[in-house]
Structure formats: C-alpha cells, structure tokens
C-alpha cells in the first residue's frame, strides 16, 4: 500500500489518516478486493 498526497509518496503506518485528495495504491487478491474497498471507502464511493 502507498499513498500519494500532493508531491509526497507515503507508506502508511498505524497512525496514518487518509485525507481528501489522497490517492491510494493497494495490491490485493480478487477474493479480498471487496473487503479492501469497504475498509477505505464510505458508502458514496469516496
């Protein structure tokens, strides 16, 4: 997982908070894709 925040590239830690405008790159298996989406998206696809 990595987060692009403006010009920064971050490797998230336990205290990292996603901010509006962050772009997240994550690798997962097809079986866990829905679980990952649910963990990072609200109900409106943001």
Q: What pLDDT digit, counting tens, does each position of 1-46 carry? A: 999 999 999 999 989 998 999 999 999 999 999 998 888 776 555 5
| Segment (H or E) for 36 | helix 33-40
Distance CA 34, CA 44 (A): 15
Please tell me what DSSP assigns to residue 12.
Answer: -
pTM exceeds 0.75 for this model: no
The two beta strands, 23-25 and 8-10, are: unpaired
**Nearest partner of 10 among 24, 21, 20, judged by Cα:** 24
């Amino acid at each position: 997982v990595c987060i692009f925040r403006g010009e920064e590239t971050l490797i998230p830690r336990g205290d990292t908070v996603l901010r509006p405008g962050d772009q997240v790159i994550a690798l997962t298996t097809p079986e866990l894709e829905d679980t990952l989406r649910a963990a990072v998206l609200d109900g409106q696809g943001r």
